[in-house]
Every structure is written in C-alpha cells, then in structure tokens.
Amino acid sequence: MLMKRVPWKIVRGFPILGWVSIVSLVFCLLSPYCVRVINAVDFLSLTTSVLAFAGISVTHRLKDLSKISWKILIVALFVFFGMYFMDTLISQIALNLSGK
C-alpha cells in the first residue's frame, strides 16, 4: 500500500525480502541486542529444512533442467562462488565496522 505511493519504479518493484534484509542488516549492525538474539539461533537446523524444500521443489522439473544442458552448471558455479565471496566480503566489512 505504502510502496504504491513511491514515485520511483525501482523502489516499488523491489521485493519485500530485499527490504527485510536491508532493514535487518541496519538493525543488526546498530543493536547489540539483535546480535545476541541472532547468535542464539542455530542456523544449521534452519538451513536443512530450507534445502530440503528447495530439493523437493526442483524434483518435479528435472525434465526441464535436462533440456538446459551442461551450461547451467557453469552458471551455477559462478553464482555460488560469487555469492560466497560477496558474503565473505560483506561479513568482513561488518566485522571491521563493529570493531571485532
């Protein structure tokens, strides 16, 4: 509702998950309470359920994936490595800014 009033299309079309990530990143960097609460969460157990759901959602599209050919493997590797290095860079910057 509020986003429909914003005059910029790029802001209106930005997904809600992106807004949640940006806002939570700001709060986590500024609030020690948020960091303590997040540290109490076991992210490995959350990751297992998310990966299981992703695997189930992909299995019914195996024929479509086989038509894409081996090129998708190269793209996937670049995406995985790029995300890993960018996550590492952002984490290092956040740690340096927080003084740890």
Helix, strand, coil percentages for the chain (3-state, nearest 5)? 80, 0, 20
Three-class DSSP category at 58: helix
Residue 26 domain boundaries: 15-60
Per-residue pLDDT of the chain (100 residues; tens, 9 = 90+): 555 666 666 666 777 778 888 888 887 777 888 778 878 777 777 777 777 777 777 777 777 777 777 777 788 889 889 989 998 999 999 899 988 7
Q: Indicate yes or no: pTM above 0.75.
A: no
- Does residue 19 lie in a domain region? yes
Residue carrying the six token digits 């479509």? 64
Tally of domains within the chain: 2
Q: Is residue 4 part of a domain?
A: no
Which H helix or E strand runs over 79? helix 71-98
Q: Measured between alpha carbons, how far is 84 from 41 in angstroms, rounded to an integer? A: 21
Whether 42 is in a domain gets the answer yes
Question: What's the confidence (pLDDT) of residue 69?
Answer: 74
Upper half-sphere CA count for residue 42 (Cβ side, 13 Å): 4
Shared-domain flag, residues 21 and 55: yes
DSSP state of 40: T
